[in-house]
Every structure is written in C-alpha cells, then in structure tokens.
C-alpha cells in the first residue's frame, strides 16, 4: 500500500473507534478528518523480514555517460559501490564503452532497490554530484529528468530561456530549490530534479512554463503565496484561487493587419474577354488595307517624331548647366532709431552741467551751488 493510503486507513480506524466509544452519529463527524495524515507519521522501512526468500530473477539497468564525467565517476566510484552495497546491488563501471550497469544479486530482498539504483546512475550521468544523487536511495525521495532540448525551435532562443531559468548567478534556481525542497541541476538539454513528489511536480511545471516563454518569477510568486497559506490551519481545506495572482499574457503582435490587403473579386461564371490582336487593331483603324510601302513610311514618320522629341529633351538637359541661377536682391541693413523710446532732454542737460562744474582728477567735496551762466549776466547788464 502507498503511504497516503495507509495513513487514511489508520485515521479511519481511529475515527470509527471514537464513534463506538463516544456513541456519536456519523453525520456529525467532520469529513476533513478522514483525509488528513497525522503529524509525524512515517511509513515503516522495508526490511528483510518482509521478503525473506529474496527475488526469483535477476534484473539489471545500464546507462551511458559523457566523456567529461569519466574522471569524476572514477573518483567517486568506491562511494557508489558502498552506498549500493547496503541494499545488495552490484554496480559496474565500464570506461571503454562509457556505461554504468546495476543489477540485483541473490542477497537482494527489496524489489524496488534496483529501480532506485537505476535512478542513481542516471543522475550521476547527468552531472549531479554524488552527495545529492545518493539521496535517491531514501524512501521519501524521487527524481525527475525533464527533457527541454526539443521544446524550442531555434538554438539561440533555447539558450536564452535556459539562462532565464538559472537566473543571474543562479538566484532563480536557488529560489526554486528553497520553495520546492528539491535539488535542481540544469545540464545541456535536460533538467534533473531530486526531492519529494510534490516538489518535483512544481519544478516540472516551472521548467515547462519557462520554455514556453513564461517568466519563472510568476510561478515563484505563486509558490511563495501557497507556502504562506499552508501555514494557516483554517485555510488548509479552502480554495486558494482568490489569493493567487492572475498574470495575463501582455505580449501583443507587432502588426495586426497585413501590409498588402487583397480584395477578392466577385465571382462570375463567364471567362474574361480576350484581348484584341494586332490584326484586329489594324482592321479597326484601317491600316490593314494599306500597302506595305505606306505602312513603312508611316512607321518611319513615327520613329522620326520620337527621335526629335528625345533630341530636344537631351538638348534641354545640356543647356541647364549654362543657365545662371537667380540671385537674391541684396538688402541693406539700416539701424533705425527706436521711435517709441522718448529722450529726456532735461536729464541730459543736468548731466552736462554737473560735468562742467566737477574738476578733473578728484570728486567735489562740497556741492557747487547752481549759478546762472555768464552770458546771461552780460545780457542783463546791457539791458
């Protein structure tokens, strides 16, 4: 049985026992208690007592690894053999063919151990470090290898979207790991994820959406909101759609209407009228009945007219270079005194009087009393 089914069965038995002891009617029991897993419950480990006779047949799995992983696998291979030896799984490393093989032995009692060993060698071949890949041997761990190489057509667009998934200095990938409790490794055309089942489901969704040109920040925001809502026991069994953001796709097409619009003609069952031939045109104008000599003379006259027109055009183009351009008339600039500004004559006279009374070199200490001009006194004396 699966862990969730076992937990539901245990919870149902506990509720039914409470009903018998307390004599409570089944209609008053909260149905949400029947589908909750008790806190701290864990599935018991699979031991040799569960399968004492072992396996009937031997099963094996093999996978290839790239050349650049050869040095790392040679270094950590003793640790791989030790980890698989606890569950009695035999592992062989073939450096000539570049493959890893795992197979069961007579002492193997867990039938699912070889499947976990197969996932282990797949993760090691996909550049996942041994410290992380060995966690797949635990019961509550699973892995998912997402192929992203064929999801985008052009190579340049694929590289940009893959880099968008990783983020600047791996920040986006680190945020995704913290929210899903999974280890994520982007390598080549695949994304390897290792963690619990719920986290792997979210990681796959984020990776596929990123390859479909949906930025991972939208999914990360949704995961953050879900994480906060799961802490509230009242909202645990309610719908979270009202709290989750609804991001709309804002990328509009650059050109909605085509540049060249074609209008369909009305359908008519009759074919189009045939164009007139040269003979029909001559018959209409009457040239068909003329002699050959007259036709030739007429053609020559048309040719001479065309030649004369071309000659006059050519002559006009040549004469353009000798035609002087029109000169603009030169306008003399005259500084006219502004008529609007009024001149204060009395102020100018006062300045002139002060200038006459002052001595050159030093300003006057005492104000000079205003006197009448000398020529005025002479006039008075004469009178």
DSSP string, 84-124: HHTTTEEEEEETTTTEEEEEE-TT---TTHHHHHHHHHHHH
What the block records as the tokens of 81 is 């053999």
Q: Which pLDDT tens digits describe the chain residue by residue (383 residues)?
A: 334 343 444 344 444 444 444 444 444 555 555 566 677 778 888 888 888 888 888 999 999 999 999 999 999 999 999 999 988 999 999 999 999 999 999 999 999 999 999 999 999 999 999 999 999 999 889 999 999 999 999 999 999 999 999 999 999 999 999 999 999 999 989 999 999 999 999 999 999 999 999 999 999 999 999 888 888 888 877 888 888 888 776 666 666 677 788 888 888 899 888 899 989 988 888 888 888 888 899 899 999 999 999 999 999 999 988 888 888 887 765 555 555 556 788 888 888 888 887 755 545 545 545 544 544 544 445 44
Q: Rounded to two decimals, what is the model's pTM? A: 0.56
Same fold flag, 48-137 and 142-243: yes
Measured CA to CA in angstroms, residue 123 lies from 102, 234, 322, 331 at distances of 13, 40, 87, 91
pLDDT at 310: 95
Q: How many Å apart are CA 342 and CA 108, to the nearest integer? A: 120
Q: 142-243, which class in CATH?
A: alpha beta
pLDDT at 260: 81
pLDDT at 379: 47
pLDDT at 137: 92
pLDDT at 23: 43
Q: State the number of CA atoms in the 13 A half-sphere of 109 facing the CB.
A: 10
pLDDT at 263: 85
Q: How many Å apart are CA 44 and CA 36, to the nearest integer? A: 18
pLDDT at 140: 87
pLDDT at 94: 93
- CATH code assigned to 48-137: 3.30.1370.10
Beta bridge partners of 60: 103
pLDDT at 249: 65
pLDDT at 45: 84
**For the chain, which residues make up each domain, given as ranges?**
48-137, 142-243, 289-319
pLDDT at 216: 92
């Amino acid at each position: 049985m699966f862990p969730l089914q076992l937990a539901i069965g245990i919870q149902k038995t506990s509720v039914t026992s409470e009903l018998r002891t307390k004599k409570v009617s089944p209609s008053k029991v909260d149905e949400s208690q029947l589908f909750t897993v008790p806190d701290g419950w864990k599935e018991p480990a699979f031991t040799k007592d569960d399968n004492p006779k072992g396996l009937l047949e031997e099963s094996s799995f093999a996978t290839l690894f790239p050349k650049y992983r050869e040095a790392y696998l040679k270094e950590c291979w003793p640790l791989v053999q030790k980890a698989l030896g606890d569950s009695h799984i035999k592992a062989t490393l073939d450096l000539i063919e570049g493959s890893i093989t795992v197979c069961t032995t007579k002492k193997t009692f867990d039938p699912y151990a070889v499947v976990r060993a197969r996932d282990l060698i797949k993760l090691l071949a996909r550049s996942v470090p041994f410290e992380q890949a060995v966690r797949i041997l635990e019961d509550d761990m699973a892995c998912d290898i997402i192929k992203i190489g064929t999801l985008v057509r052009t190579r340049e667009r694929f590289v940009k979207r893959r880099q968008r998934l990783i983020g600047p200095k791996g920040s986006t990938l680190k945020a995704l790991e913290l929210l899903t409790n999974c280890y994520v490794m982007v390598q080549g055309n695949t994304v390897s994820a290792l963690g619990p089942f719920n986290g792997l489901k979210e990681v796959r969704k984020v990776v596929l959406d990123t390859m479909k040109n949906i930025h991972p920040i939208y999914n990360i925001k949704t995961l953050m909101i879900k994480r906060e809502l799961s802490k509230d026991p009242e909202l645990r069994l309610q719908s979270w759609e009202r709290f989750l953001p609804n991001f709309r796709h804002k990328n509009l097409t650059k050109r909605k209407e085509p540049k060249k619009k074609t209008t369909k003609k009305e359908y008519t069952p009759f074919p189009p009228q045939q164009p007139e031939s040269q003979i029909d045109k001559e018959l209409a104008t009457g040239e068909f009945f003329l002699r050959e000599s007259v036709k030739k003379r007429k053609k020559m006259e048309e040719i001479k007219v065309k030649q004369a027109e071309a000659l006059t055009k050519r002559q006009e183009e040549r004469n353009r270079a000798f035609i002087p351009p029109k000169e603009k008339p030169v306008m003399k600039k005259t500084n006219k005194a502004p008529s609007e500004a009024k001149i204060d004559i009395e102020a100018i006279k006062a300045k002139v009087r002060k200038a006459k009374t002052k001595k050159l070199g030093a300003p006057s200490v005492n104000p000079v009393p205003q006197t009448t001009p000398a020529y005025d006194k002479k006039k008075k004396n004469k009178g």
